Amino acid sequence: MVTLKEVYDAVDSFYPFALQEPWDNSGVQIGFQAQTVSKIALSVDVTPGIIKECKSNNVDLLISHHPSFFRATASISEATPQGILAGCLTGMLTESRLMHISCHTSADKARYGVADVFIELLGLDQAMPIIPEPHDGTLGIGRIGNLENATTLLQLAHTLKSIIPETSRPLLVAGDARRTVQRVAILPGAGDSEFTAVRRANADVYITSDLRHHPALDQLTLNYTPEVNGDLALIDVPHSAVESVFLRKFELLLEDRVKGVEILNLSDVNTDPWNFAV
Ligand SMILES: [Zn+2]
């Protein structure tokens, strides 16, 4: 058995909380430093379903990628989704004594983090962050690198599909299926704010989540003048599914640094909101 502080310090050693964006809220969400932990669960999201899963498995500490306290809520009531979640979270501390830590943009940027694990999984050579940190260029948002052997856009989409957990929402691809791709940029999570950096880094394909109609269409329009703007293909991957992949690495790192606790990886609990497609 260890304390919440000991787990926090262990996580901080590989996903430093200081890396988080100023708007983020990674760190302890619920709990007191001296509380003891014997069972940890790992997840991408915090949902009523995940909280139920923790309770039925006697988990003391949930460590999720997305924070539970992110948008302000004025009441703990059923009036808003934030209010309902706040009700579940209040019960976490008072009834089940369940603690909570979030590793959000800190894990996005870190070595072995949410994006970094794809360097090895996709086999990207000389990979670097899409948006490097000012103090350390090896850390930062997203990763971009070269496949050892160029492949087709279709084959890359299939490879990616085989890496992420199964979801009912398919991967969506924009670009000629037969075109060759070698320079791959990946930003798990909502990445439509980073198109400029991705194009500047000469990516052939950008893998990210939650691409909306107009920003995606704009990118295809830029492809009309490839001699100026390059020719960027897009792959939209389900948000939680692609972000859950790093939990396997997270589990190994935790096992190595925190002894005497049980770890439950909830990456097979799919929290992407879409549960069927027609
Ligand atoms: Zn996310």
Q: pLDDT tens digits, residue range 159-178?
A: 999 999 999 999 999 999 99
The residue with tokens 């000991």 is 6
Please give the distance, rounded to the nearest whole angstrom, from the Cα atom of residue 139 to the centre of ligand 1: 18
For residue 166, the model assigns a pLDDT of 92
Residue 50: both structure tokens together? 């995940």
Please give the distance, rounded to the nearest whole angstrom, from the Cα atom of residue 75 to the centre of ligand 1: 25
Contact call for residues 234 and 216 (beta carbons, < 8 A):
yes
Q: For residue 93, what pLDDT band results from cuts at 50, 70 and 90?
A: low
Please give the distance, rounded to the nearest whole angstrom, from the Cα atom of residue 271 to the centre of ligand 1: 11
Q: pLDDT tens digits, residue range 20-75?
A: 999 999 999 988 899 999 999 999 999 989 998 998 999 999 999 999 888 777 77
Contact call for residues 196 and 229 (beta carbons, < 8 A):
no
Residue 70: both structure tokens together? 């992110």
pTM (two decimals): 0.90
Please give the distance, rounded to the nearest whole angstrom, from the Cα atom of residue 153 to the centre of ligand 1: 24
Please give the distance, rounded to the nearest whole angstrom, from the Cα atom of residue 226 to the centre of ligand 1: 31
Please give the distance, rounded to the nearest whole angstrom, from the Cα atom of residue 191 to the centre of ligand 1: 9
Please give the distance, rounded to the nearest whole angstrom, from the Cα atom of residue 190 to the centre of ligand 1: 7
Please give the distance, rounded to the nearest whole angstrom, from the Cα atom of residue 105 to the centre of ligand 1: 9
Q: pLDDT tens digits, residue range 230-254?
A: 999 999 999 999 999 999 999 999 9
Residue 19 per-residue DSSP state = G
Residue type, 171: L
Distance CA(246)–CA(235), nearest Å, equals 19
For residue 225, the model assigns a pLDDT of 94
Q: pLDDT tens digits, residue range 208-221?
A: 999 999 999 999 99
Domains annotated for the chain, with CATH where assigned, are: 2-106+246-265 (3.40.1390.30), 115-241 (3.40.1390.30)
Please give the distance, rounded to the nearest whole angstrom, from the Cα atom of residue 142 to the centre of ligand 1: 12
The residue with tokens 């502080």 is 5
Q: Regarding beta strands 27-30 and 99-102, do their DSSP bridges make them parallel or antiparallel, or are they unpaired?
A: antiparallel
For residue 140, the model assigns a pLDDT of 98
Please give the distance, rounded to the nearest whole angstrom, from the Cα atom of residue 220 to the centre of ligand 1: 24
Please give the distance, rounded to the nearest whole angstrom, from the Cα atom of residue 225 to the centre of ligand 1: 32
Please give the distance, rounded to the nearest whole angstrom, from the Cα atom of residue 188 to the centre of ligand 1: 7
Please give the distance, rounded to the nearest whole angstrom, from the Cα atom of residue 104 to the centre of ligand 1: 8
Helix ranges, the chain (H): 4-14, 48-56, 81-94, 105-109, 117-122, 153-163, 195-200, 213-222, 226-229, 239-244, 247-257
Please give the distance, rounded to the nearest whole angstrom, from the Cα atom of residue 227 to the centre of ligand 1: 33
Please give the distance, rounded to the nearest whole angstrom, from the Cα atom of residue 239 to the centre of ligand 1: 6
